[in-house]
Amino acid sequence: MNEILLRHREINNLDQLPIYRQNKGFETFKRAVTGMKPEEVTEIVKASGLRGRGGAGFPTGIKWSFMDKNNWPHYVVTNADESEPGTFKDREIMESNPFQFLEGVMLCAYAVGANAAYIYLRGEFWDLAAELDKHIEYLEREGLLGDKLFGSEYGLRLYTHLGAGAYICGEETALLESLEGKLGQPRLRPPFPPSFGLYGKPTVVNNVETLANVPLIVERGAAWYRGFGTEKSPGTKVFSLSGNVEKPGNYELPLGTTFRELIFTHGGGIPTGRKVKAIMPAGASSSLIVADDKALDTPMDYESVPSVGAQLGSASIIVIDDSVSMDWLINKTVHFFQHESCGKCTPCREGTYWMRHLTERIHQGGANWNDVILLNEVATNIKGKCLCALGDFATEAVTSSIARFKGDFEGKTQAAPVKMEAKVSS
């Protein structure tokens, strides 16, 4: 536990620069700038098999290597928007292990030849941004940021940028639009950020946790990193555990750890007298997994979670016990997505609004079974029609809970349940 990302739990005051430096902090960055070619850094990250921790799980080193070499300047943008309900890992890393995170950003910038890197934080992280600004000034005073670093030709500056309350700005192209001072609405893709990103220039967008891995990967090598986790999902991951558990919080564990170990060994299990009913492994965007033994014994990695009908996503594990009824739950999630839809795509804009009316009515008990069928259809009709993934996200909990926890809805509707129609995907 706490091998890489949450090291601050093992090393006191790691959030102070001198302490961080005593623990080899920024030696890697210096070594890279003075002794390594940018491509070498990228190669190590590639070899480590590190995959994006923002949700999509895209191989990080490969993303870096996509940067268009014929179009300059290059930018690095850190996605610190952390807005997925149930996710609170990036915040702890930036609060308590800030320098390792910043060094990760700096190594990434060096690897892709960027002289400026922006850290886009959700507006609510106001205090945190102020702290990071202080750290960045400190690094400039210490000569770790600025022009001609360590006597080389390479220079780098870091800037924080505060969002202002919009989940969609976590989507990388919406984030870039927002950073450009426009509405946070996703762009068409392709072109992808590595060829057309911030200000139309090649840009790497990476999640906070992703980059926080980089310093130790470059310091200790790909092989060392692959010592953790599984073949296809190497390394450790910070699992944000929330909901009906005794000890909610962040847990850094190797990818491939089972749900059972996380929830019961580390999370202290379910409040006494209750039973675990369902799990949402990827926050509110997640399908609901029926928490049977098969599910509990499933390893939490990018390949295995789909086998129980969900995605690992940002590994924000929301635990739901048997006191919860799904009509209430999806009313919450749908409310969230309806509130956060940027409004660009018709199905998402209109569909989340429509679903919101239906879930509200169902939850209030004013609905009949046809409303449940309709809700399921509306959700199905949104799927696969939108520009960004939010539209799909909004439907996962809805369709999966109707399919997998039918009883919760039958109890809530007036008319006797008729045979549920096709479409419903289990």
Partner 1 sequence: MNALQQRYGEEIERVLSKYPADQKRSAVMPLLYIAQREHGYVTREQLDQIAEILAISATDVASIVGFYTLYHDEPGGKYRIQVCDDLPCALRGADEFLNGLCQRLHVKPGETTPDGLVTVEAVMCLAACHRAPMFQVQSQERISYYEDQTVDNAMQLVESWRQVNGK
Partner 2 sequence: MAEAIAPKTEQKLVTLTIDDRTVSVAPGTWVVDAAKQAGIDIPVFCYHPKMEPVGMCRMCLVEIGRPMVDRATGQPALNEDGTPKIQFGAKLETGCTIPVSEGLVVRGYTDKVKEERDQVLEFLLTSHPLDCPICDKGGECPLQNLTMHFGPGESRYIYDEKIRLDKHVPLGELIFLDRERCIQCARCTRFQTEVVDDPVIGFSERGRALEIVTFSEPGFDSYWSGNTTDICPVGALTTADFRFEARPWELKPVASICTHCPVNCNTTLNTRREAKAGGRQVVKRVMPRQNEWVNEIWICDKGRFAYHYTESSNRIVQPLLRKGGQLTPVGWDEALAAVADKVKKAGGKLVTVAGGRLSNEDYFNIKKLSEKAIGPALLYSQMAGGDLVAQVGLGAGSNLGDLGAGSAILVIASDLEEEAPLWWLRVRQAAERGATLIVANPRRTKLDRSAKYALRYDYGQEAAVLHAMLDSFSPKRPDHPESLRKLLRDDALKAAAQELSQVESLVVFYGSEGTDLAASQALANAAANLLIATGHVGKPNNGLVAIWDKGNAQGAWDLGLRPSENLAAQMEEAAVLYIVGADPASDDPALAAAVDGAQFVVVQELALTKTAQAADVVLPAQAFTEREGSYTSGERRVQRFYPAVPAIEGMRADFAITAQIATALGLNLEQRIGSLAFLQLAAANEAYKDLDFGKLAEVTEQWPIIGRADVYYGGTTYDNTQGLGVKLSSEADRGQSPVLSFAPLQEPAAKDGLVAVPVSRLYDRGNTILPSKLLSARLEAPQVILNPEDAESLGLEMGKPAKMTLNGVTSTVTVHIDNSLPKDAALIPRSLGLAISGPTPVKVAA
Chain residues binding partner 1 by CB under 8 A are: 82-88, 90-91, 122-127, 130, 159, 161-167, 178-184, 199, 240-244, 248-250, 284, 318, 320, 324, 329, 332-333, 336, 339-340, 342
- Give, as ranges, the residues between 186 and 205 that touch ligand FMN (CB under 6 A): 205
Q: How many whole angstroms separate alpha carbon 30 and alpha carbon 12?
A: 24
Establish if 170 lies at the interface with ligand FMN (CB under 6 A).
yes
Establish if 355 lies at the interface with ligand SF4 (CB under 6 A).
no
DSSP 392: H
Establish if 162 lies at the interface with ligand FMN (CB under 6 A).
no
Q: How many whole angstroms separate alpha carbon 228 and alpha carbon 253?
A: 9
Which residues, other chains included, contact 293 with Cβ-Cβ below 8 Å and sequence gap of 6+? none
In whole angstroms, how close is the CB of 289 to partner 1 at the nearest point? 15
In whole angstroms, how close is the CB of 401 to partner 1 at the nearest point? 12
Q: Which of 17, 61, 81, 118 is the binder for ligand FMN (CB under 6 A)?
A: 81
Binding-site ranges for partner 2 (CB under 8 A): 166, 168, 183, 188, 338-347, 349-354, 357, 374, 381, 384-387
For 29, 43, 104, 149, the CA distances from 203, given in Å and listed in that order, are 20, 18, 16, 22
- How many residues interact with ligand SF4 (rule CB under 6 A)? 15
Give yes or no for a cis peptide into 18 (omega within 30° of 0).
Answer: no
DSSP assignments along 175-207, one per residue = HHHHHTTS---PPPSSSPTTTS-GGGS-EEEEE
- The 114-121 sheet, strands edge to edge: 157-162, 114-121, 74-80, 203-207
From the list 211, 210, 192, 190, the residue with the least C-alpha distance to 201 is 192
Count the Cβ atoms, other than its own, within 10 Å of residue 88: 17
**Partner whose binding site includes residue 374, from ligand FMN, partner 2, ligand SF4, none (CB under 5 to 8 Å by kind):** partner 2
Give yes or no for a cis peptide into 73 (omega within 30° of 0).
Answer: yes
**Partner whose binding site includes residue 386, from partner 1, ligand FMN, ligand SF4, none (CB under 5 to 8 Å by kind):** ligand SF4
**Partner whose binding site includes residue 123, from ligand FMN, partner 1, partner 2, none (CB under 5 to 8 Å by kind):** partner 1
77 neighbors 117 (Cβ within 8 angstroms): yes
Q: Residue type for 353, please?
A: Y
Residue closer to ligand FMN by CB (options 171, 371) is: 171
**Partner whose binding site includes residue 320, from partner 2, partner 1, ligand FMN, none (CB under 5 to 8 Å by kind):** partner 1
In whole angstroms, how close is the CB of 168 to ligand FMN at the nearest point? 6
Residue closer to ligand FMN by CB (options 56, 324) is: 56
Beta bridge partners of 59: 51
Q: Which of 14, 128, 168, 204 is the binder for ligand SF4 (CB under 6 A)?
A: 168
**Partner whose binding site includes residue 166, from ligand SF4, ligand FMN, partner 2, none (CB under 5 to 8 Å by kind):** partner 2
DSSP 307: G
Backbone angles phi and psi of 305, in degrees to 5: -55, -40
Sign of CA dihedral 282, 284, 290, 293: positive
Q: How many whole angstroms separate alpha carbon 357 and alpha carbon 180?
A: 34
For 239, 309, 356, 359, 409, the CA distances from 395, given in Å and listed in that order, are 23, 14, 11, 12, 16
Q: Which of 42, 79, 338, 341 is the binder for ligand FMN (CB under 6 A)?
A: 79
Q: Which of 17, 41, 67, 82 is the binder for ligand FMN (CB under 6 A)?
A: 82
Burial of residue 71 (CB within 10 Å: 0-12, 13-18, 19+) is middle
**Partner whose binding site includes residue 389, from partner 2, ligand FMN, partner 1, none (CB under 5 to 8 Å by kind):** ligand FMN
In whole angstroms, how close is the CB of 389 to ligand SF4 at the nearest point? 7
Site string for ligand FMN, 221-260 (x = CB under 6 A): ----------------------------------------
Q: Which of 103, 171, 219, 301 is the binder for ligand FMN (CB under 6 A)?
A: 171
**Partner whose binding site includes residue 151, from ligand SF4, partner 1, partner 2, none (CB under 5 to 8 Å by kind):** none
Residue closer to ligand SF4 by CB (options 169, 270) is: 169
In whole angstroms, how close is the CB of 361 to partner 2 at the nearest point? 8
DSSP 84: S
Q: How many whole angstroms separate alpha carbon 278 and alpha carbon 169?
A: 29
- Interface residues with ligand SF4 (CB under 6 A) are 168, 185-186, 341-345, 348-349, 386-388, 390-391
- Interface residues with ligand FMN (CB under 6 A) are 52-56, 58, 79, 81-84, 168, 170-172, 205-207, 210, 388-390
